[in-house]
Amino acid sequence: MTFSEQFPIVFQALNVGFAQTLKLFFVTLLGAIPLGLIISFGSMSHFRPLSYFTKIIVWIIRGTPLMIQLLIIYFMPGLVFGNNIWGGDENGRFLAASVGFIFNYACYFSEIYRGGIQGVPKGQEEAGLVLGMTKSQIFFKVTFMQMVKRIVPPMSNEIITLVKDTSLARIISLQEVIWAGQSFMKGNMGIAGVIWPLFFTAVYYLIFSGILTVLLGRLEKKLEYFR
């Protein structure tokens, strides 16, 4: 098969793979953005046992490779406890990968949130208090937007990293774009032993992270209306 015959077939397969990549990307953000906030509250809690517990969890998650975490989450229930809760199909792998990614990214996000919240001057909270606001009104009406403004640059960094980290789900055979590219080495749809589809996956990551860079840059600009 010539390259021009291969291309449409490969393109089609890589698109399917990349759809799975995107799904994992968005599910991770959707889960990790709120979960990270909850974890950050935990680590900032004045109740010591809770803040220590949270900090230990964050240390473990950030201190070990995401790849190992995915392997443990996916294989441990079946191979160690004899109860494969994920099932053997693509849906099960996706679910396991989502759990791993959400937890991992929530821990990184929580530290960014913590920095963002603690970076808001103490005077803002005091101003809210003397105006008779409750703690939650102060958080949502005063602190929150100032936190968002502070965290956009470091969050952008993490989000761009996440685009590429989704490829780690390949380790539990999630059929994302790298998996799709690799399939043409082993043999898939009459194409075998070609390496270029695997290399070509880089273009997907590059384009997608380019789009995100522009969007996140716009968000940063939008928040420039206050200082």
Partner 1 sequence: MAILEVQHVSKSFGDTEVLKDISFSLEKGKVLSLIGSSGSGKTTLLRCLNFLERPDGGVIRVNGETLFDADDPETRQESEIRKKRLHFGLVFQSFNLFPQYTALQNVMLAKELLEKEKPDYKARKKEIHAQIEKEARALLDQMGLSDRVDNYPHQLSGGQCQRVAIARALALKPDILCFDEPTSALDPELTGEVLKVIKGLADQETTMVIVTHEMAFARDVSSQVIFMDEGCILEKGTPEQVFEHPSKERTKQFLSRYTQG
**Of 12-20, 89-97, 134-142, 177-185, which part binds partner 1 (CB under 8 A)?**
134-142
Q: 180 with 170: CB under 8 angstroms? A: no
Is 46 one of the binding residues for partner 1 (CB under 8 A)?
no
Which of 1, 30, 68, 127 contacts partner 1 by CB under 8 A? 127
Decide whether 100 or 128 has the Cβ nearer to partner 1. 128
47 binds partner 1 (CB under 8 A): no
Q: How many of the other CB atoms lie within 10 Å of CB of 204?
A: 20
Give the shortest CB-227-to-partner 1 separation in angstroms.
4
- Determine the distance from the C-alpha atom of residue 213 to the mean position of all C-alpha atoms in its chain, rounded to a whole number: 15
Segment contacting partner 1 by CB under 8 A, of 25-33, 47-55, 93-101, 117-125: 117-125
Beta bridge partners of 191: 188
CA 61 remoteness from chain centre: 13
Are 56 and 106 contacting, i.e. CB atoms less than 8 angstroms apart?
no
145 binds partner 1 (CB under 8 A): yes
Q: Please tell me the distance from the alpha carbon of residue 17 to that of residue 21, in angstroms, as a whole number.
A: 6
Q: Does 124 bind partner 1 (CB under 8 A)?
A: yes
Q: Which is nearer to partner 1, 82 or 132 (CB)?
A: 132
Q: Tell me how far, at minimum, the Cβ of 127 lies from partner 1, in Å.
A: 4
SS3 content of the chain, % helix, strand, coil (to 5): 85, 0, 15
- Between residues 186 and 227, which has the closer beta carbon with respect to partner 1? 227
Contact letters for partner 1, residues 77-116 (x by CB under 8 A): ----------------------------------------
Beta bridge partners of 188: 191
Tell me the two tokens of residue 152. 């956009």
**Encoding tokens for residue 220?**
């940063």
In the list 46, 121, 186, 193, the residue contacting partner 1 (rule: CB under 8 A) is 121
- Amino acid at position 211, single letter: I
DSSP 8-state symbol, 188: B
- 132 sits near partner 1 (criterion: CB under 8 A): yes
CA distance 227 to 216: 18
Does residue 30 belong to the site contacting partner 1 (CB under 8 A)? no
Q: Applying CB under 8 A, which residues contact partner 1?
A: 121, 123-124, 126-134, 137, 141-142, 145-146, 149, 225-227
